[in-house]
Amino acid sequence: MATTNDLKNGLVLKLEGGQLWSVVEFQHVKPGKGPAFVRTKLKNVLSGKVVDKTFNAGVKVETANVDKRGMQFSYKDGESFVFMDMETYDQIHISPDVVGDAAHFLLEGFDAVVAMYEGNPLYVELPAAVELVVEYTEPGVQGDRSTGGTKPARLETGYEIGVPLFITTGEKIKVDTRSGEYLGRVNS
């Protein structure tokens, strides 16, 4: 148990019906007239739905003990993704709906943070950017370098993104894991 004074970004709360909500944003408000309150933006850990919720100041809220562990992606076993705990070397199978969009950027050996609650995986968190090789893209034509256009490129994970026209097959690029956007070339 914690009070609304203990709220901080990333804290996971257990609210009505036992649902888990992660604090995305919070603001303590002390109006000139009336009692203080805390305005929050909460994200449902399982569905990703974001809601605004207001709590009276000092009210007790139930916190969930979410264990975030450093894990390494090992391989894909049929439909599930297999991750290895870096401390205990235990392997866990995680369903595609828990992995979510992170599946577009996973290669064997990639490190990730897996959030667990009561032994069940909640979500997989990748670093903000990953480096991947362009498996295939159409060749650029001489003179394309001056225009700001993009072309589709298939990454080594099979995911397709838009890249600048000067990128060629076999180049290593940096990709934002949150938006799936091209960030730049990686100099070897």
CATH of the domain at 117: 2.40.50.140
Residues 75-99: pLDDT tens digits?
A: 988 889 999 998 888 999 998 888 8
pLDDT at 141: 63
Residue 184, pLDDT score: 87
- Last residue of a domain, which of 100, 125, 150? 125
Give per-residue pLDDT as tens, 42-85.
Answer: 988 877 788 999 988 888 988 888 888 899 999 988 889 999 99
Element (H or E) spanning 97, and its range?
helix 96-99
Residue that is last in its domain, among 125, 142, 165: 125
Whether residue 7 is found in the same domain as residue 56: yes
Q: Domain containing 24: what range?
A: 2-61
- 53 and 85 inside one domain: no
My answer on whether 103 and 84 are in the same domain is yes
* Same domain flag for 150 and 117: no
**162 shares its domain with 180:** yes
Pair (111, 75) in one structural domain: yes
Expressed in percent and rounded to 5, the helix, strand and coil fractions of the chain are 10, 50, 40
Place of tokens 């909500």: 21
Model's pTM, two decimal places?
0.70
For residues 38, 44, 48, 50, the Cα torsion angle rounded to the nearest 10 degrees is -30
State the DSSP code for 49: -
Give the per-residue pLDDT at 73: 92
Contact 37, 87 (CB under 8 A): no
Split into its structural domains, the chain has a count of 3
- Residue 145: the pLDDT is 55
